[in-house]
Amino acid sequence: MTEKTVNTRAKLFGTGFLLCIAVGVTIFCGYQTYQAIQTFQKNHNLAVSGDVRTIRSWMTIPFIARVYHVPETYLYGALHINNAPSTRRDSLNTLAIHYNRPVNALIAQVQQVILAYRKQHPYHSSTLALRDRSPPTSRRMAE
């Protein structure tokens, strides 16, 4: 065999090897993307249904109040957090640091407060959840 044939075979082998690696990486990344989309959809559906397990440390009290249909003043009072304009933009993580609490304990407390509010106001929270899920046209008809 000549040197030219060996060189061509080496190039062909190298190109084939790199192509296999590229296909493998593409399949891996595609699978990871698919899993991320599945996780996002699951968490989104839980959040829309008002599941308190979706509360995260990046959320603020006003955001939580709006998403979970609990008055801000109720949350601030039950959590013993000052309802000052300076704390309105603070995430739960920042509030936990400021009030010397573990962030996971604060999240668990927020979850308990929301569930307690729902027990005290079952009619109010169920009508809000139903109203938010209805299409805009049926909402107008009902009002």
111 conformational bin, left if phi > 0, alpha if psi -120 to 50, beta if neither = alpha
Q: pLDDT at position 132, please? A: 44
Rg (CA), the chain: 26
The predicted-structure confidence for 109-125, as pLDDT tens digits, reads as follows 999 999 999 999 876 54
Q: pLDDT at position 138, please? A: 41
State the Cα angle at 82 between 81 and 84, rounded to 5°: 140
Q: pLDDT at position 139, please? A: 39
* Res. 45 pLDDT band, cuts 50 70 90: confident
Could you count the other beta carbons within 10 Å of the beta carbon of residue 141? 9
**Which residue, 73, 78, 108, is CA-closest to 92?**
108
Q: Please report, rounded to a whole number, the percentage of residues in the chain having pLDDT higher than 90.
A: 57
| Whole-number Å distance between alpha carbons of 140 and 36 | 36
| Whole-number Å distance between alpha carbons of 71 and 90 | 17
Check residues 44 and 35 and name the one with the higher pLDDT: 35
| Whole-number Å distance between alpha carbons of 72 and 40 | 27
Q: Please report, rounded to a whole number, the percentage of residues in the chain having pLDDT higher than 70.
A: 84
What is the average pLDDT score of the chain? 84
Residue whose structure tokens are 């060996």: 6
Name every residue whose Cβ is closer than 8 Å to that of residue 71 and which is 6 or more positions away in sequence.
Answer: 65
Domain residue extents for the chain: 1-48, 52-142
